[in-house]
């Protein structure tokens, strides 16, 4: 297989239309595309513009028609409710067609938006596929997200319906969704026509007469609905991701490019064949859940696993090994945080020895930086390839990876290996000039981006241009910094803006600052992400109190933490803040967040010449040392 990667990569970059035209033959079309790419509105490239297909048909009906109806499509494994449920392709198709009928009966059609605010249960995946079946656009919002955040998404997507469940379960805590949903609808300017609520055993939600329906009752009254052909370029879904301002960005994914890219990646990136078991241990509210729990594995004809639980605590650090052995998982895809949690609870990896992991061939990690400690720990324990790979909500599928289905390249811990075919990755300085190997800069991707990447931001073409394409014409700005070594291996060092990565969740420190600034005692503030051994990064606040205000810092931190939990959600993990006399700023008044981050992380830094008063950094360093950060702040 030697040279297979380079050959494939060169073909994809030199002849993108031929390359992706061939890949498109893996998908079933109602009308085969005669053109592969339309560049008339560059940088908004459109893939397979005259093709017509249906994503749900490719994920379900086609396999049943091909005689694979009795193969397992989905295994729901929920340690928090102590249930395992299995669905064949035929059974899943029946449920999806019925729920598509429910949506149709509620007036939902092609192009209408549906918000799905639900936990990791089969009904959620069924709802996503049912939307795809009738050409409706779904937007899954992570269950339990704060009402304020949900309201913003309701106002942006303007859904006809909201689908929700009575609760989610976090280890042993039941989180009621309905009060959060009611509050969000109250806050939102746009009012959805109705809500359909899936009642779970743990909690019965109170339904609002005339607006809310019971999910089961609606299904009982429904007629199954057929697939509706859509244009390749029609949106399949909107998925919101944190921007650098408080306003989330609605990433739009099309139908055709998404199906082609995901199908291609299952074999070539992940080395998975139809019929094999693939497990994306993620939430359906994140991009991994869309691409590699629902659409990718099902379009490829795999058995996919829907796991409602945690890596530890449900019941212990052996949970992942149990799922792998019980269901014959060939490849697991999860975030490094999961493995740091397992390693912390079971440092010797003794629990793994209790299970038969003989069918387990690959561990894929993404969503945040994979530290070399965790890489070595997993690699030594499992004795299988541990593949660090890198991508974003915006790209929808991997940008850089060791493509196991093409050729196994030597692994370099700390690097997600090389760019995946289709992605022209380079490193540039602030002026857009490529930098030599080994030198750090901004990670950019040459246009056109391959199929499956975002087509735009929902109803915000201009914001999309400004965020990603204006700074370096002809290139997409990833927002990450990094370098490429002399062997062509990519190293991604982290965000260059104020988005931080807490346990694989992208969160904006800018949005957190907006919340902290609302506290009546706070004059000004800054929130930065500091390195955390366990979660990757954690937010750390710096607060300047209003003149004359005296506060106990512990109490204030609790109040701020509560505010952030209400406004943004518990995933933010905001637990530490320092009261300081003043913040380090440039003469023009810009807070030096980047330098503060380096002080906190004990990284070497230079005091910028534009600093207003260098003494402020020493004060910050001293406060941080008391917290256990910045041990050597006197660089």
Query: Quick check: 226 pLDDT over 80?
Result: yes
**Does position 272 have pLDDT exceeding 80, yes or no?**
yes
> Does residue 480 sit in helix, strand or coil?
strand
Query: Which one, of 262, 279, 282, lies nearest residue 55 by Cα?
Result: 262
Q: Can you give the pTM of this predicted structure? A: 0.86
Percent pLDDT > 70 in the chain is 97
* E strand spans, 308-423: 331-334, 362-365, 386-388, 400-401, 418-419
C-alpha span between 133 and 148 (Å, rounded): 30
The pLDDT of residue 131 is above 90: yes
d(CA 498, CA 528): 7
Residue 2 vs residue 567, higher pLDDT: 567
pLDDT digits (tens, 9 = 90+) for 287-299: 999 999 999 999 9
Q: What is the average pLDDT value for the chain, to the nearest integer? A: 93
- Tokens read off for 20: 């992706």
Q: Which candidate, 574, 573, 568, places its Cα nearest to that of 146?
A: 568
| pLDDT for 498 beyond 90 | no
C-alpha closest to that of 196 among 100, 132, 97, 284? 100
Residue 55 predicted with pLDDT over 50: yes
Sign, Cα dihedral of 558, 561, 565, 571: negative
| Owner of token pair 């330098």 | 595
- Flag whether pLDDT at 508 surpasses 80: no
CB 364 within 8 A of CB 311: no
CB 587 within 8 A of CB 610: yes
* Cα separation values, 50 from 37, 109, 110, 132, 143, Å: 9, 21, 17, 19, 36
Q: 269 near 288, Cβ under 8 Å?
A: no
Closest CA to 182 of 170, 168, 172, 192: 192
243 C-beta neighbours (distance < 10 Å), count: 21
- pLDDT surpasses 70 at 71: yes
How far apart are alpha carbons 243 and 497 in whole angstroms? 9
Q: Which of 75, 87, 56 is nearest to 224 (CA)?
A: 56
Which pLDDT tens digit goes with each residue over 583-619? 887 655 667 887 888 888 888 877 766 677 778 888 8
Structural domains of the chain sorted by starting position, each given as residue range(s) with its CATH number in brackets: 4-309+389-477 (3.40.50.12780), 499-627 (3.30.300.30)
The H-or-E segment that residue 512 falls in is: helix 509-516
Is residue 217 over pLDDT 50?
A: yes
Top-confidence range, 366-370, 389-393, 497-501, 503-507: 389-393
Distance CA 423, CA 13 (A): 7
Q: How confident is the model at residue 632 (pLDDT cuts 50, 70, 90)?
A: low
CA nearest to 306, candidates 86, 148, 479, 486:
86
Mean pLDDT of 107-119: 98
Residue 635 — pLDDT band, cuts 50, 70, 90? very low
Indicate the range of 217-221, 450-454, 551-555 predicted with least confidence: 551-555
Identify the sign of the CA torsion 147, 148, 150, 154.
Answer: positive
Chain mean position to CA 141: 11
481/458 Cα distance (integer angstroms): 26
Q: Say whether the peptide bond before residue 315 is cis (omega within 30 degrees of 0).
A: yes
Q: Is the pLDDT at 174 greater than 80, yes or no? A: yes
Taking the C-alpha atoms of residue 226 and residue 209, their distance in angstroms, rounded to an integer, is 30
Angle, CA 306 vertex, CA 312 and CA 500 arms, to 5°: 60
The two beta strands, 499-502 and 505-508, are antiparallel
* Token duo for residue 521: 């005692």
529/228: higher pLDDT: 228
Task: Return all residues near 410 (Cβ < 8 A) that are at least 6 apart.
Answer: none
3-state secondary structure of 570: helix
pLDDT in tens, 309-353: 999 999 999 999 999 999 999 999 998 888 988 998 999 999 999
Q: Residues 104, 110, 111, 117: is their CA dihedral positive or negative?
A: positive
Which tens digits make up the pLDDT trace of 439-463? 888 999 999 999 999 999 999 999 9
Interior CA angle at 43 toward 47 and 394, to 5°? 75
Residue carrying the six token digits 């256990």: 628
Q: What percent of the chain has pLDDT over 90?
A: 73
Burial bucket for residue 512 (CB in 10 Å: 0-12, 13-18, 19+) = buried
Helices then strands, counting H and E runs in the chain, come out as 20, 32
Q: How far is the C-alpha of 306 from the C-alpha of 329, rounded, in Å? A: 12
Lowest mean pLDDT across 42-51, 173-182, 370-379, 386-395: 370-379
Per DSSP, the residues of 140-184 read E--TT--HHHHHHHHHHH--SEEEEESEEEETTEEEE-HHHHHHH
Amino acid 512: pLDDT: 87
CB atoms within 10 A of CB 601: 17
**What are the strands, taking DSSP E only, across 18-107?**
37-38, 46-47, 52-53, 72-78, 83-88
**Burial level of 548, CB count in 10 A (0-12/13-18/19+)?**
exposed
């Amino acid at each position: 297989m030697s040279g297979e990667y380079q050959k494939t990569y060169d073909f994809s970059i030199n002849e993108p239309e031929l390359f992706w035209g061939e890949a498109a033959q893996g998908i079933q079309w109602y009308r085969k595309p005669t053109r592969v790419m339309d560049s008339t509105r560059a940088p908004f490239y459109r893939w397979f513009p005259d093709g017509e297909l249906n994503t749900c048909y490719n994920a379900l009906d086609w396999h049943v028609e091909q005689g694979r109806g009795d193969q397992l499509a989905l295994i729901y494994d929920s340690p928090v409710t102590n249930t395992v449920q299995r669905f064949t392709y035929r059974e899943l198709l029946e449920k999806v067609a019925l729920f598509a009928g429910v949506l149709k009966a509620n007036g939902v059609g092609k192009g209408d938006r549906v918000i799905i605010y639900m936990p990791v249960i089969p009904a959620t995946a069924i709802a996503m596929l049912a939307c795809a079946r009738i050409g409706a656009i779904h937007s899954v919002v992570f269950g339990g997200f704060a009402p304020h955040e949900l309201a913003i998404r309701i106002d942006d997507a303007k859904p006809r319906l909201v689908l929700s469940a009575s609760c989610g379960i976090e280890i042993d805590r039941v989180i009621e969704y309905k009060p959060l949903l009611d509050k969000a609808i109250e806050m939102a300017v746009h009012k959805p026509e109705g809500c359909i609520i899936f009642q779970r055993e743990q909690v019965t939600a109170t339904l609002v007469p005339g607006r809310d329906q019971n999910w089961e009752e609606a299904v009982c009254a429904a007629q199954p609905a057929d697939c509706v052909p859509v244009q390749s370029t029609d949106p399949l879904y909107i998925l919101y991701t944190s921007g650098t301002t408080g306003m989330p960005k609605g990433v739009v994914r099309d139908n055709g490019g998404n199906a082609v890219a995901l199908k291609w990646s299952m074999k070539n990136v992940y080395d998975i064949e139809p019929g094999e078991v693939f497990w994306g241990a993620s939430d359906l509210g994140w991009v991994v859940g869309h691409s590699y729990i629902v659409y990718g594995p099902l379009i490829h004809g795999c058995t996919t696993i829907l796991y409602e639980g945690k890596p530890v605590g449900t019941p212990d650090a052996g949970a992942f090994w149990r799922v792998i052995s019980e269901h014959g998982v060939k490849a697991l895809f999860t975030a490094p945080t999961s493995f740091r949690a397992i390693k912390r609870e079971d440092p010797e990896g003794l629990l793994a020895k209790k299970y038969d992991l003989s069918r387990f061939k690959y561990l894929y990690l993404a969503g945040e930086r994979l530290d070399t400690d965790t890489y070595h720990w997993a690699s030594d324990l499992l004795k299988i390839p541990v593949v660090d790979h890198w991508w974003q909500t915006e790209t929808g599928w991997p940008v850089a990876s060791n493509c196991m289905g093409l050729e196994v390249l030597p692994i370099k811990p700390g690097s997600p290996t090389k760019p995946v075919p289709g992605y022209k990755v380079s490193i540039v300085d602030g002026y857009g000039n490529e930098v030599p190997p080994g030198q750090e800069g901004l990670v950019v991707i040459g246009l056109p981006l391959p199929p499956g990447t975002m087509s735009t931001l929902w109803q915000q073409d201009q914001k999309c241009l400004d965020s990603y394409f204006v700074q370096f014409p002809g290139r997409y700005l990833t927002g990450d910094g990094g370098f490429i070594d002399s062997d062509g291996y990519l190293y991604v060092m982290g965000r260059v803006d104020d988005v931080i990565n807490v346990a694989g969740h992208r969160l904006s420190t800018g949005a957190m600052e907006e919340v902290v600034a609302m506290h009546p005692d706070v004059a000004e503030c800054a929130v930065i992400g500091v390195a955390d051994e366990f979660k990757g990064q954690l937010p750390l606040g710096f607060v300047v109190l209003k003149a004359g205000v005296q506060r106990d810092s512990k109490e204030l931190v609790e109040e701020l933490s509560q505010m952030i939990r209400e406004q943004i959600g518990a995933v933010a993990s905001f637990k530490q803040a320092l009261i300081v006399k003043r913040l380090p700023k440039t003469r023009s008044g810009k807070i030096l967040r980047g330098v503060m981050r380096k002080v906190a992380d004990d990284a070497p830094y230079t005091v910028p010449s534009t600093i207003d008063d260098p003494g402020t950094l020493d004060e910050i360093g001293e406060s941080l040392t008391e917290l256990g950060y910045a041990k050597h702040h006197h660089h």
